[in-house]
Amino acid sequence: MTATVPAPTDVVETDQMVQTIERLRSTVESGRTRSLDWREAQLDGIIRFTTDFTDELLEAMETDLGRPGLEGWIADIGSSINEAEYIKKKFRKWAAPRKAKLNVALQPASARIMPEPLGVALIIAPWNYPVNLVLEPMAAAFAAGNAIVLKPSEISPATAGVIAQNLPDYLDSDAFAVFEGGPEVSTALLAEKWDHIFFTGSTKVGQIVMEAAAKNLTPVTLELGGKSPVIVGDDADLDVTAQRIAWGKSFNAGQTCIAPDYVLVTEKNRDALIDKLSEAWTSFYGTEISASDDYGRVVSDRHHQRLVGMLDGQTVAFGGDHDGETRFLSPTIVVDPALDSTVMSEEIFGPILPIITVDNIDAAIRFVNDRPKPLALYVFANDDDVVDRVLSRTSSGGGCVNHVLLHFSPSELPFGGVGASGMGRYHGKSGFDAFSNLKGIVRKPFRGESKLVYPPYTDGKTKLLRKFL
Ligand code: NAD
């Protein structure tokens, strides 16, 4: 079946937007979304939609991104179903009041954390994983009892179209709405009042989102980007290291927020690593990479030109082949680029891998710490001391030891950035908590009334309270 490509919405229907948000808000106010069965029905809707429309979604991602079917399954379809299933299994426990300990001076009493829905959430998504980055935040928001307005990316219009045309049929239409379109639609949505904004995208637009949210003091989760480094230790197994880095860099043609952006390695291993990365890519895709069905394409002409421009004046040790017509760019190794060139001053978000020579691990750590805190950091080493040094002296949203990308997958690992790479966490319980107000309540019986804290503040009361509080 051919995926439909809707025309981008150029006209922003603000009235319709306002009415839709009001409709969703009154659903929340009616109390319907608090019901755990209602929440489960929405999670089931997400799972059924993804299952029923797997073929259309895979085809749409192929149209948008030249995405190989297996990559679409791993990163978008299978992962979204797994996460929604995991949340469905656990969310009743997360939604139940959580017991908290109380100081003896407050007894007799009980303390509970009572998670409650925030209200109407706005979810703005990017194009690179156009199914996963829509459905996983949605599963968290519904599990926490919220209504949702979704704005998928206009840069992946075929996938946005399949979602916009079909997902609403699986959900409560008074608690879910989709607005397609680009920045003009986002801007109009951001002008409205929300109870939470969950944004995945670039750091630059993240700043715009946070500024808009500040006007209404709306809480935000910002899942942003940046340059995620790889540090290769002198004792790393270079065959395995190269395979894993090569896979993480060429998956979805490098258009992954946590893709290895660049590699820091000492001179001892640099040339061997370059050879082994080249061998790994050749073993994945053959010598004519553009003919491989297993290698994706750059999403748009603008991004293709941006990436090809990054190669200007660089020393290319592997790849560098490109074709504007098909938006093909082969996996490419650039050696020791100038640190002020765009390939090192901007997030690459494509299949170019700079290799930077450093003197030793401490120099690699300094290199990372001299730059904004990354979304992910990867270290390859056998020596525990090297691994510990890197992990304890650097800060990143997350990462892996001896692999790349994998930390996105486990539902029990909170996923998010730090500093310029974002704020807030999701996946599993972290996502549920992100979309909840964790209300703290102390409950006291009428019996056992103590006058200790009431005036007059006598010496005796002061002594006692200083001891127990
Ligand atoms: P983007 O910031 O350009 O766009 C993201 C969303 O914001 C889109 O829906 C877009 O329509 C909207 N938007 C664009 N300009 C806007 C504006 N001026 N005002 C309001 N909204 C606007 O990002 P992108 O190109 O879609 O995605 C790539 C970026 O996203 C990369 O930086 C990548 O690292 C990051 N990313 C982060 C994660 C994560 O989980 N942390 C995941 C995927 C992508």
Got the DSSP string for 127-154? Answer: SSSTTHHHHHHHHHHHHTT-EEEEE--T
Q: Using most ligand atoms within 8 A of CB, pick from 123, 154, 159, 257 the residue to mutate for ligand 1.
A: 257
- Dihedral (Cα; 85, 88, 94, 95), 10-degree rounding: 160
Cβ proximity of 83 and 427 under 8 Å: yes
**pLDDT in the model for residue 469:** 77
Select from 179, 120, 170 the least CA-distant residue to 146: 120
Sequential pLDDT tens for the chain (469 residues)? 333 334 444 457 788 999 999 999 999 999 999 999 999 999 999 999 999 999 999 999 999 999 999 999 999 999 999 999 999 999 999 999 999 999 888 889 999 999 999 999 999 999 999 999 999 999 999 999 999 999 999 999 999 999 999 999 999 999 999 999 999 999 999 999 999 999 999 999 999 999 999 999 999 999 999 999 999 999 999 999 999 999 999 999 999 999 999 999 999 999 999 999 999 999 999 999 999 999 999 999 999 999 999 999 999 999 999 999 999 999 999 999 999 999 999 999 999 999 999 999 999 999 999 999 999 999 999 999 999 999 999 999 999 999 999 999 999 999 999 999 999 999 999 999 999 999 999 999 999 888 888 999 999 999 988 887 7
CA gap 417, 422 in Å, rounded: 4
> Closest ligand 1 atom to the C-alpha of 422?
41
Burial of 320 (0-12, 13-18, 19+ CB in 10 A): middle
Q: Give the DSSP H/E element, type plus range, for residue 196.
A: strand 196-200
What tokens appear for 239 in the block?
A: 């065959």
Cα(127) to ligand 1 centroid in Å equals: 8
Task: Give the single-character DSSP code of 100.
Answer: E
Find the catalytic residue in 257, 279, 325, 412. 257
Active site residue 400: no
Task: In whole angstroms, give the CA distance from residue 441 to residue 249.
Answer: 48
**Cβ-Cβ contacts under 8 Å for 78 (sequence gap 6 or more):** none
CA of 210 to the centre of ligand 1 (A): 13
Residue 404 amino acid letter: V
Domains of the chain, CATH where assigned? 14-224+419-441 (3.40.605.10), 229-408 (3.40.309.10)
Q: Which residues sit opposite 178 in a β-bridge?
A: 150
What was the pLDDT predicted at 212?
98
CA distance 357 to 355: 7
Contact indicator for 265, 273 with CB cutoff of 8 Å: yes
Choose one of 80, 83, 128 to mutate for the ligand 1 pocket test, by most ligand atoms within 8 angstroms of C-beta.
Answer: 128
CA of 343 to the centre of ligand 1 (A): 19
Nearest atom in ligand 1 to 226's CA: 34
Annotation marks residue 223 as catalytic: yes
Four-CA torsion 61, 64, 70, 76, nearest 10 degrees = -50
pLDDT of residue 452: 86
Residue 185's nearest CA partner among 97, 260, 237, 124 is 124
**Rounded to an integer, what distance in angstroms lies between the CA atom of residue 97 and that of residue 172?**
26
Q: pTM for the full model?
A: 0.95
